[in-house]
């Protein structure tokens, strides 16, 4: 059972990952991602001016970059399968829905990891210029990847709800935006006044920003990891439900 | 386990619309079942339920003894399926696509290579193996879809319109292939090309408005035609009115239709009662009366006419009733 699980997830993962690289999507995405991280870090983040040997100017813009770039990766995951009808093929092969969702999700996540890994020149630069705490940097990379995983799980679920990739993109951006800002007045003010404090606390604890910020300081708190992990699992579970109810239409 | 496919009381509702209404049938190993019906009759919906893609509202399907809902993976292992329109991942080449299917089907080692080579040769896609599928012609796309469906040599093969969009030669090839594979498989093909039923199927099922309306052999289907065993005579137009009168007096003749042909000739189409064979009687009669007959043909029946009769109700109720008495 578990060997067929790994076999199937592996097969779907490899197919999906190859699909990114057999179209220009992968290259366009990676080039734009690297270009924007550069701009944000050096011009807006003031990497040189801060005179600090750390990568905070680099990482602090990741949530905002991901807000637009991750839905661009995730929008095609399921809506394309539904549009071209390959979902009927995939779902009549001897794979479970869970295997298909996980395989496709991991491929998108791995692809994001490749893009993230290609930012290594920044790490080399900061080590050349100064003496940064490389543990903090490593932890930040892990945190950034976890956050990307959270965005991707949301995007994957949303893309299962529509055949239209543009709609999948826009809705994913909006939901990801709410998750980034759920600790901020913009979102909290909406609930303040009628919802009890415990709900306000719960909502603000969903904030990607606050969880990522604590990781960025170099402290990996188990709670932050559990937060992202359970968020990913929850959205992927919703993803399977979405496919199950929507695949026929 | 005689029946490789068992479909019991299948019902599918989409909201208040009943798309499939209590359909039951079985397919034995070695049998090719033709699935007929007008567009929107519930053919594809039924196939989607048999393959486990759609959940039925009620009813069960089992493939080689595996219930599609209780043991979906075991059922899908014995199944090869070509969905309508032969969907495939456009950016992949047929080679990488078949490799992906082989991965999922758990084909390994020398068997895997053998199966892929064998299928590629059978389906004749050797020449396009390295081209992205989205750049292939409709015929090749369809073939890649078929290759995918038969890659693991499945016991149950279901194909939704396998010859749609193919040219006559390709159609012929696909039909030959289906017949070749039929020996040890249970095969369902849906089609609205009626001659296909006669050419490849051992049995035919007609579905319209979600209901199963006919289940029998193609011969039985054709025998339902009022043109079954009808005789067409071509003779001089001058003689044909008189001949018609004589023919209508025969107890075995139901009606005679006259159609004028060029060059002073006419065709008499003599329709028998109850589909009985009347050709011997008519040729004797023609001899006796000294008709100059330039052509005499026996019709086997018109499957498209039966199809219309069955699916939209008899267009010609009176004849139908006479026919029965």
Residue B226 placed within a domain: no
B313 confidence band (pLDDT: 50, 70, 90)? low
Number of domains in chain B: 2
Report the alpha-carbon distance of residue B75 to residue B59 in Å, rounded. Answer: 16
Report the alpha-carbon distance of residue B80 to residue A93 in Å, rounded. Answer: 8
> What pLDDT sits at residue B322?
38
Pairwise CB contact (< 8 Å): A88 & B48? yes
- Out of B221, B250, B275, pick the residue that ends a domain: B221
- B274 and B157 in a single domain? The answer is no
Report the alpha-carbon distance of residue B264 to residue B177 in Å, rounded. Answer: 46
Cβ(B209)–Cβ(B45) under 8 Å?
Answer: no
CA A140 to chain centre: 14
> What pLDDT sits at residue A248?
66
> What pLDDT sits at residue B321?
38
Q: How many CA atoms lie within 13 A of B183 on its CB side?
A: 5
Write down the ipTM of this complex.
Answer: 0.89
CATH number at residue B19: 3.40.50.300
Q: How many CA atoms lie within 13 A of A62 on its CB side?
A: 30
What's the angle, vertex CA A85, arms to CA A76 and CA B17, rounded to 5?
A: 120
Q: How far is A240 from chain B (nearest CA, A)?
A: 14
**B239 exposure class (CB count in 10 Å sphere: 0-12, 13-18, 19+):** middle
> What pLDDT sits at residue A224?
85
Does the beta carbon of B79 lie under 8 angstroms from any beta carbon of chain A? Answer: yes
Cβ(B229)–Cβ(B277) under 8 Å?
Answer: yes
Portion of chain B with pLDDT greater than 90, in percent: 44
> What pLDDT sits at residue B203?
92
Pairwise CB contact (< 8 Å): A92 & B51? yes
Residue B317 placed within a domain: no
- B79 and B181 in a single domain? The answer is yes
Report the alpha-carbon distance of residue A153 to residue A237 in Å, rounded. Answer: 9
As given in the structure block, the two tokens for residue A13 are 């993962």
In DSSP terms, B79 is beta-bridged to B156
The reply to whether the predicted model has a pTM over 0.90 is: no
Q: How far is A94 from chain B (nearest CA, A)?
A: 5
Q: pLDDT tens digit string along B127-183?
A: 999 999 999 998 899 999 999 999 999 999 999 988 887 888 888 888 888 998 888
Q: pLDDT tens digit string along B127-141?
A: 999 999 999 998 899
Q: pLDDT tens digit string along A187-241?
A: 777 777 787 888 877 787 778 888 888 888 878 788 888 989 999 999 999 999 9
- B130 and B247 in a single domain? The answer is no
Reduced to 3 states (helix: H, G, I; strand: E, B; else coil), residue B214 is: strand
Of B48, B89, B104, the CB nearest to A93: B104
Which of B173, B170, B220, B218 lies closest to B36, judged by CA?
B218
Residue B65, pLDDT above cutoff 80: yes
Report the alpha-carbon distance of residue A93 to residue A96 in Å, rounded. Answer: 9
Cβ(A118)–Cβ(A30) under 8 Å?
Answer: yes
CATH number at residue B281: 3.30.70.100
Report the alpha-carbon distance of residue B308 to residue B299 in Å, rounded. Answer: 18
Does the beta carbon of B42 lie under 8 angstroms from any beta carbon of chain A? Answer: no
- B217 and B280 in a single domain? The answer is no
Report the alpha-carbon distance of residue A211 to residue A215 in Å, rounded. Answer: 6
- B216 and B124 in a single domain? The answer is yes
- B213 and B259 in a single domain? The answer is no
A52 confidence band (pLDDT: 50, 70, 90)? confident
Number of domains in chain A: 1
Range of B256's domain? 231-299
More confident of the two residues A113 and A192: A113
- B288 and B139 in a single domain? The answer is no
Which of A178, A174, A172 lies closest to A190, judged by CA?
A178
Which of B202, B218, B187, B191 lies closest to B37, judged by CA?
B191
B7 confidence band (pLDDT: 50, 70, 90)? very high
Residue B10 placed within a domain: yes
- B212 and B236 in a single domain? The answer is no
Does the beta carbon of B71 lie under 8 angstroms from any beta carbon of chain A? Answer: no
Residues from A in contact with B at Cβ < 8 Å: 4, 7-8, 10-12, 14-15, 18-19, 22-23, 84-86, 88-89, 91-96, 247-248
Instruction: Over range B198-210, report the average pLDDT.
Output: 89
Nearest CA in chain B to A3: B106
Cβ(B267)–Cβ(B258) under 8 Å?
Answer: yes
- Out of B221, B246, B277, pick the residue that ends a domain: B221
Report the alpha-carbon distance of residue A249 to residue A207 in Å, rounded. Answer: 34
Pairwise CB contact (< 8 Å): A15 & B91? no
Q: pLDDT tens digit string along A74-100?
A: 999 999 999 999 999 999 999 999 999
Strands B265-272 and B253-260: antiparallel
- B101 and B239 in a single domain? The answer is no
In DSSP terms, B190 is beta-bridged to B35, B160
- B74 and B179 in a single domain? The answer is yes
Range of A119's domain? 2-246
Nearest CA in chain B to A6: B104
Reduced to 3 states (helix: H, G, I; strand: E, B; else coil), residue A245 is: helix
Report the alpha-carbon distance of residue A237 to residue B234 in Å, rounded. Answer: 72
- B171 and B291 in a single domain? The answer is no
As given in the structure block, the two tokens for residue B321 are 């009733």
As given in the structure block, the two tokens for residue B239 are 């003689």
- B47 and B168 in a single domain? The answer is yes
As given in the structure block, the two tokens for residue A42 are 């050096």
- Out of B189, B221, B253, pick the residue that ends a domain: B221
Which of B299, B298, B279, B306 lies closest to B222, judged by CA?
B306
């Amino acid at each position: 059972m578990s060997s067929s699980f790994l076999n199937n997830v592996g097969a779907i993962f490899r197919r999906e990952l190859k699909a990114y690289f057999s179209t220009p999507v992968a290259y366009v995405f990676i080039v734009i991602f690297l270009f924007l991280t550069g701009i944000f870090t050096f011009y807006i983040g003031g990497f040189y001016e801060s005179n600090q040997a750390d990568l905070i100017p680099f990482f602090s813009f990741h949530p905002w970059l991901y807000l637009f770039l991750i839905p661009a990766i995730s929008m095609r995951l399921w809506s394309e399968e539904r549009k071209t009808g390959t979902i009927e093929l995939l779902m009549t092969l001897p794979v479970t829905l869970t295997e298909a969702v996980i395989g496709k999700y991991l491929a998108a996540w791995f692809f994001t990891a490749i893009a993230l890994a290609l930012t290594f020149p920044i790490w080399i630069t900061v080590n050349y210029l100064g003496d940064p705490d490389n543990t903090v940097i490593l932890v930040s990379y892990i945190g950034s990847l976890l956050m990307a995983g959270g965005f991707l799980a949301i995007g994957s679920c949303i893309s299962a709800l529509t055949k239209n990739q543009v709609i999948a993109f826009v809705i994913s951006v909006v939901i990801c935006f709410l998750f980034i800002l759920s600790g901020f007045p913009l979102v909290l003010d909406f609930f303040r006044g009628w919802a009890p404090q415990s709900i306000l606390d719960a909502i603000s604890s969903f904030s990607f920003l606050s969880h990522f910020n604590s990781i960025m300081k170099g402290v990996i708190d188990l709670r932050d990891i559990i937060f992202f992990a359970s968020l990913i699992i929850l959205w992927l579970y919703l993803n399977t439900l979405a496919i199950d109810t929507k695949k026929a239409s | 386990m005689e029946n490789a496919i068992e479909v019991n009381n299948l019902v599918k509702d989409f909201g208040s619309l009943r798309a499939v209404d209590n359909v039951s049938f079985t397919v034995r190993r070695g049998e090719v079942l033709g699935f007929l019906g007008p567009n929107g009759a519930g053919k594809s919906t039924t196939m989607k339920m048999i393959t486990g893609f759609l959940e039925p509202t009620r009813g069960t399907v089992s493939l080689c003894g595996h219930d599609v809902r209780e043991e979906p993976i075991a059922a899908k292992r014995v199944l090869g399926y070509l969905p309508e329109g032969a969907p495939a991942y456009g950016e992949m080449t047929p080679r990488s696509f078949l490799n992906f299917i082989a991965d999922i089907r758990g084909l390994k080692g020398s068997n895997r290579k053998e199966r892929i080579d064998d299928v590629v040769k059978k389906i004749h896609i050797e020449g396009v193996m390295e081209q992205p599928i989205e750049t292939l012609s409709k015929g090749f796309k369809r073939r890649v879809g078929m290759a995918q469906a038969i890659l693991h040599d499945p016991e149950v093969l279901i194909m939704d319109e396998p010859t749609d969009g193919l040219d006559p030669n390709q159609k012929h090839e696909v039909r030959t292939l289906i017949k070749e594979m039929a020996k040890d498989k249970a095969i369902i093909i849906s089609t609205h090309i009626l001659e296909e039923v006669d050419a490849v199927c051992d049995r035919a099922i007609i579905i319209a408005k979600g209901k199963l309306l006919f289940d029998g052999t193609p011969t039985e289907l054709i025998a339902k035609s009022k043109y079954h065993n009808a005789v067409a005579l071509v003779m001089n137009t001058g003689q044909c009115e008189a001949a018609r009168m004589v023919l209508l007096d025969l107890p075995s003749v139901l009606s005679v239709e006259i159609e004028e042909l060029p060059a002073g000739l006419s065709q008499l189409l003599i329709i028998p009662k109850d589909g009985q064979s009347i050709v011997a009687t008519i040729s004797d009669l023609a001899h006796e009366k000294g008709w100059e007959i330039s052509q005499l043909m026996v019709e086997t029946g018109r499957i498209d006419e039966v199809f219309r009769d069955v699916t939209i109700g008899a267009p010609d109720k009176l004849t139908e009733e006479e026919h029965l008495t």
